[in-house]
Structure 1
Amino acid sequence: MKNPSLTLSLPLLMALVACSSQADYRKIDTPPATVSEVDLNRYAGRWYEIARYPNSFQKNCEAVTAEYSLREDGNINVTNTCHAGEVRSATAIARIVEDTGNAQLKVKFAPKWVPFAWGDYWILHLEEDYSAALVGSPDGKYLWILSRTPKLDDKIYQSITKRAKELGYATTPLKMTEHPN
């Protein structure tokens, strides 16, 4: 008989190894600046991925969206959806890092019993009207450009990538995400 904990643990271990081998596209040691404050009620809702750093867990993903909803306990529900031949969804919980103006979160897609699987989700740029955002990890392994619509005005995209460069992130590795018309 198979050991059920081994069956559950092996895929998780493989995912953690894959994540730890992710390329680092930021060569600056100091943490990047985040936005000063985020109104989570305005941030909640659907976001469309416009561009991202390549990563193993989004392989072949297009038409990527992220849904954020506030929970009564002060945390945030996260549902990421992508189309990769079929629709794939992943759910997570995000918690706010104290004293960061809600601009730094810890996100966990792993099961509750895995205590160490929290990843950094920092809001690095946010348009004043909450129409577009730059989010990523301070270590430079992850970076996303998000928009409230499937298409982002090129002027805003250029402004966001300029901000990413100012924060020390490489922008040439960004992969544009396709969204159906």
Structure 2
Amino acid sequence: MRKPVLWQVAAATLATGAAVYALTRKRYPELRTVPHVDLHRYAGRWYEIARLPQRFEKDCTHVTAEYRPLADGRIEVHNTCHKDSVYGPAETVRGLARVVDAKTNAKLKVQFQWPFEGDYWILALDEDYRFALVGTPDRKGLWILSREPQLSHPTRQNLTELARQNGFAVEKLIYTQQPEE
């Protein structure tokens, strides 16, 4: 008699746990990416204009990312950050990105340290590839990128508003110090 009771208790416990998890899990609307990214046009240097706080970017200024398509379809990623000031010592990290949505090329996985990968979704992209909004589906990562070290205030505000509408905590954005040209 004990076995059926034990299974009933176990099943009830699992069901209760699943229900609590479902109620407490944060739900986000579907995060849409741009319809298509030409990875060769996306390649090159991007300046970080703003970001949500990331432990790996603590105290970073003058942050840049460079992307280079490889023959095997992956993308080489080279990120640079300067500590303490735009002219402070530079820290660099290299990684690889792979496309996970070949239909759009807008969803990628980036790996800087094996076996860990992070999402990199291109949410907005200027038709001339001058600026971009990149985020993660869990809404914890967000970056505003530009081909130039500075981005016009109206464009920055439009990208910030788009991020807000998509559930990102834009009030926590850190605006990255870049050198004046």
SS for the counterpart of 1:69 is strand
Matched residues in 2 for 1:138 and 1:100: separation? 18
Matched residues in 1 for 2:160 and 2:36: separation? 20
Q: Which runs of 5+ in 1 are unaligned?
A: 1-26
Cα shift at 1:60: 0.6
Q: Which runs of 5+ in 2 are unaligned?
A: 1-25
Cα shift at 1:99: 3.8
More helix by proportion, 1 or 2? 2
Matches within 5 A, 1:12-31: 28-31=27-30
CA contact (8 A) 2:28 2:167 kept: no
Task: Name the residue aligned to 1:70.
Answer: 69
Q: Aligned residues, how many?
A: 151
Q: Percent of aligned positions with the same letter in both sequences?
A: 52
Cα shift at 1:170: 1.9
Matched residues in 1 for 2:43 and 2:78: separation? 11
Matched residues in 2 for 1:28 and 1:51: separation? 25
Letter in 2 for 1:98: D
- Larger C-alpha radius of gyration, 1 or 2? 2
Matched residues in 1 for 2:40 and 2:102: separation? 18
Letter in 2 for 1:158: Q
Task: Name the residue aligned to 1:10.
Answer: none
Matched residues in 1 for 2:143 and 2:128: separation? 18
Task: Name the residue aligned to 2:122.
Answer: 123
Q: 1:105 aligns with which of 79, 103, 108?
A: 108
Matched residues in 2 for 1:78 and 1:176: separation? 22
Matched residues in 1 for 2:31 and 2:103: separation? 13
Deviation per CA, 1:52-88: give whole Å up to 9, x if none. Answer: 0011100110000000001000000000000004100
Matched residues in 2 for 1:174 and 1:148: separation? 19
Q: Could you say what the CA RMSD is over the residues aligned between the two structures, in angstroms?
A: 1.2
Matched residues in 1 for 2:125 and 2:42: separation? 9
Cα shift at 1:149: 0.2
Matched residues in 2 for 1:106 and 1:86: separation? 28
Letter in 2 for 1:105: L
CA contact (8 A) 1:51 1:146 kept: yes
Task: Name the residue aligned to 1:7.
Answer: none
Q: TM-score, normalised by structure 2?
A: 0.80
Matched residues in 2 for 1:171 and 1:100: separation? 29
Q: 1:90 aligns with which of 88, 93, 102?
A: 93
